[in-house]
């Protein structure tokens, strides 16, 4: 596995990891994940020795919105990438007492088979995660905690009290255009709580800045 670059986003704990592809006249080869490299390579210290315990795949049709999801007991960090299509990743800070609590960012992750690299986005515990899709897409995500159905919750990405001030305006506008056009959403996601409701929920005490 060849690490090219690690980028911090506007929510500093959220990272983009760029890995090399090795192209030739047949196509390319890429080593997407090697546990020893993720634990030892300089630049990946933010992972804190996290191990991948679960791998998920999700296919979405154009106009789909998913999220914003999170869980505790166990906490779950996610490494997410686009296999094909175009995913726009959404990350919301839900850490009580964090100076960026309630702020949401987006990162555009289109798949480009001609590129000499591919990217993962790292969403650590303490952040709600969602995605939306302008086109038919397949994504893969590695999780550092196994799914715990009794310890999960969600905030609606349509909630009016999210703070989009750190989000790239073009991606916010793209989200608004998709959300205004009868997006495909699960009933569970559509019924997600607002940020204010979550902050008043006693379960929000699981997510406090400095304790995760």
**Of 107, 117, 129, 141, which residue is the catalytic one?**
141
Q: Is 141 a residue of the active site? A: yes
Cα angle: 171, vertex 176, 177; to 5 degrees: 95
Picking from 125, 122, 179, 132, the residue whose alpha carbon sits closest to that of residue 152 is: 125
Q: Is 107 a residue of the active site? A: no
Structure tokens at 36: 């020893």
DSSP SS3 for 178: helix
Please list, in sequence order, all residues whose beta carbon lies within 8 angstroms of the beta carbon of residue 68, skipping any fewer than 6 positions away.
90, 92, 104, 128, 129, 130, 154, 155, 156, 157, 192
**Can you tell me the distance from the alpha carbon of 46 to that of 57, in angstroms, rounded to the nearest whole number?**
24
**Of 33, 69, 107, 147, which residue is the catalytic one?**
69
The one-character DSSP state at 181 is: S
Pairing between β-strand 104-110 and β-strand 86-93 as defined by DSSP bridges:
antiparallel
Picking from 44, 51, 55, 93, the residue whose alpha carbon sits closest to that of residue 199 is: 93
Enzyme catalytic residues: 69, 141
């Amino acid at each position: 596995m060849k690490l090219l670059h690690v980028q911090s986003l506007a929510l500093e704990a959220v990272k983009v990891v760029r890995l090399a592809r090795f192209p030739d006249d047949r196509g390319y080869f890429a080593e997407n994940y090697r546990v020893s490299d993720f634990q030892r390579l300089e630049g990946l210290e933010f992972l804190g020795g996290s191990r991948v315990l679960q791998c998920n795949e999700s296919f979405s049709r154009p106009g789909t919105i998913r999220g914003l999801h999170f869980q505790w007991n166990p906490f779950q960090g996610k490494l997410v990438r686009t296999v094909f299509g175009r995913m726009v990743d959404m990350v919301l800070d839900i850490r009580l007492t964090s100076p960026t609590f309630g702020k949401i960012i987006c990162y555009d992750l289109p798949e480009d088979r001609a590129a000499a690299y591919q990217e993962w986005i790292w969403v650590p515990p303490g952040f709600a995660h969602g995605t939306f899709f302008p086109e038919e897409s397949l994504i893969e995500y590695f999780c550092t905690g196994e799914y715990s159905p009794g310890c999960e919750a969600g905030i609606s990405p349509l909630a009016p009290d999210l703070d989009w001030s750190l989000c790239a305006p073009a991606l916010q506008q793209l989200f608004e255009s998709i959300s205004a056009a009868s997006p495909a959403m699960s009933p569970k996601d559509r019924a997600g709580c607002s940020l204010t409701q979550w902050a008043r929920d006693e379960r929000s005490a699981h997510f406090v800045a400095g304790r995760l």
